[in-house]
Amino acid sequence: MSTYCRILIVEDEYLTRQGIKGMIHWEQEGFQIVGEASNGEEALARIEELKPQIVLTDVVMPVMDGIALTQAIQERYPETRVIVLSGYSDFEYVKSIFQHGAVDYILKPTLNQQELLATLCKAAGQIPDFVLTRGGGDSFESVINQALSGFPAPDALEKLRKVFPYPHFFLVGMNVPYVLGNAANLSREAGILAAGAEEFLPGVTARVATIDRKFLLMIVNYAAEPYRSLTERVRKLVAAVRVKSPRAFYVYTREFSGLGLLKETYTRLAALSRQRFYCRDVFIQGEDAFAPAAAEPFDAARFNALVRASDMRQALEQLDAWLRRAVDRHAPGEFELKSLVQDALYQMLAFWEESGMDAERIASLKRDCFIRISEAKFAEDLLEAFGCIRADFLTLFEERAPRQGKRSVQEILDYVEEHCAEALTLNDVAKRFNFNYSYLSSYFSANSREGFSEYLNRARIRRAEELLRKGDIPVSEVCGMVGYGDHSYFCKVFKKFTGKTPSEFRRQCGAAVGGKRWKKS
């Protein structure tokens, strides 16, 4: 059983957490960092899981701040000691910290190794039935975590050189929560891998460690054996591991020389582990197998125009084609890919909601999209899920298209009739009704059986006919009242639609000029 005093660090700034972790030789001083959290709410969940004896917390954090966290710890876990990192030295503020249950505080601006260690030792001394044991030395796992944190202790690499005496390295690893799920037993997986290393990698140094309590890392260090030969042995090792852990997926890096490249190589390895999404039928993959393909940008502007034009079929075809190309390229990553597809589908649903679709049905479709997309373990699963969603959306579109199309074009025609005397353009109408300009041009022609300009002129001439029948408005004024600035052009257009000039039309209608009304003969 461990005799270390267990520490949980709660701080919303990643760099500050890393700085604290690298400030002390924790195991050597009798402490062990068992976990981290970025806010108070997350910390409470971690406390329940990790049972730390001391919580080192910041004050100003999102979701739940350090004061509320301290009070909650005092109520739920009274045996846990809290040390607050504060940026304030005001007496009333410090008094408030102690009233809420903290055993001590440290001013962040002056935080240093000596003060932090002294405060921790003081807090450890207040823990019932616990005696702090110091001088145990850093564990291998502690040293390797320091080396990869970006804030290693000055002698961390030197200690690792004693463990890894050979010039050549490569790394093997798996992001355990991502690949196996959050419920996976990290210690069990580490034990399985370590046992496999002893069996399949004799004659080389292969050490296993867990990084940040989620990533399982094996460092392979060797002198002369060819890299390709060793990776074949690692493949056999992982094949054997899968007997006990069938869903395991490991990635191994290229060969590198010297511990100076350890952190850089690990960073690449951690990113590659998330390519599991694109590797359904393999259990181990080398770094060279991942082609460095850049993600293709999604044309969101075109998609939005198609949705606003109610061309849902074409919008879905665009999204489907892009999704298939993304899967072929293995880019972007899983989270970004799923988020983009989900956001695009939500955009379509939002448009339907604006168009009057039942809110409960919209909410149901949103839940269905979210569940299907989030549950897709692999790229192939996502394609299948999208296929089902696409079929549902198209069915809904076909149900709505006849009445929706008729309603949309009728609204446009009514608007043009009402505003025909204004300096109206197709672009004005497109913006008002949230239609793509090019699409609206063909859409308008198809539904009204004539182009926009032709329809606008016809509406204006109908209005002119009404005014000319009244008989008391001069033709020159009628011209301006229906939207024409040029009298001769007005007469030309009027004759095109009626077969008569405006004056001829007025005479035929029996209208009078100069305020006198002519009776029809």
Buried b / exposed e along 247-264 (16+ C-beta atoms within 10 A): ebbbbbbebeeebeebee
Confidence of residue 1 (pLDDT cuts 50, 70, 90): very low
pLDDT at 324: 95
Question: Is pLDDT of 458 > 80?
Answer: yes
pLDDT at 443: 62
Question: Is pLDDT of 134 > 70?
Answer: no
Confidence of residue 436 (pLDDT cuts 50, 70, 90): low
Domain boundaries, the chain: 5-137, 157-289, 293-449, 458-508
Could you say which DSSP state residue 256 is in? E
For the chain, the distance separating the N- and C-terminal CA atoms, rounded to the nearest angstrom, is 117
Nearest to 186 by CA among 151, 155, 210: 210
Mean pLDDT of the chain: 84
pLDDT at 22: 73
CA 97 to CA 91: how far, in whole Å? Answer: 10
pLDDT at 390: 93
Range name among 71-85, 185-199, 316-330 with the lowest pLDDT average: 185-199
pLDDT at 512: 43
Collapse the DSSP code of 281 into the 3-class scheme (helix H, G, I; strand E, B; otherwise coil) and give the result.
coil
User: For the residues of 160-210, what is the DSSP string, one character each?
Assistant: HHHH--SSEEEEEEEEHHHHH-TTS-HHHHHHHHHHHHHHH-TTSEEEEEE
181 neighbors 280 (Cβ within 8 angstroms): no
Looking at residues 444-456, what average pLDDT do you find? Answer: 72
Confidence of residue 409 (pLDDT cuts 50, 70, 90): low
Provide the 10 A C-beta neighbour count for residue 142: 22
pLDDT at 128: 81
pLDDT at 266: 96
Comparing 112 with 491, the larger pLDDT belongs to 491
Share of the chain above pLDDT 90, in %: 37
Question: Is pLDDT of 402 > 60?
Answer: no
Which architecture characterizes domain 5-137 according to CATH? 3-Layer(aba) Sandwich (3.40)
Could you say which DSSP state residue 226 is in? -
Range name among 357-366, 408-417, 458-467 with the lowest pLDDT average: 408-417
Looking at residues 397-402, what average pLDDT do you find? Answer: 66
For the domain spanning 458-508, the CATH number is: 1.10.10.60
pLDDT at 516: 44
Which architecture characterizes domain 157-289 according to CATH? 2-Layer Sandwich (3.30)
pLDDT at 519: 38
pLDDT at 137: 55
Looking at residues 467-491, what average pLDDT do you find? Answer: 88
Question: Is pLDDT of 405 > 60?
Answer: no
Looking at residues 344-363, what average pLDDT do you find? Answer: 84
> What's the per-residue H, E or C state across 127-163?
CCCCCCCCCCCCCHHHHHHHHHHCCCCCCHHHHHHHH
Q: What is the pTM of this model?
A: 0.56
Question: Is pLDDT of 205 > 90?
Answer: yes
59 neighbors 70 (Cβ within 8 angstroms): no
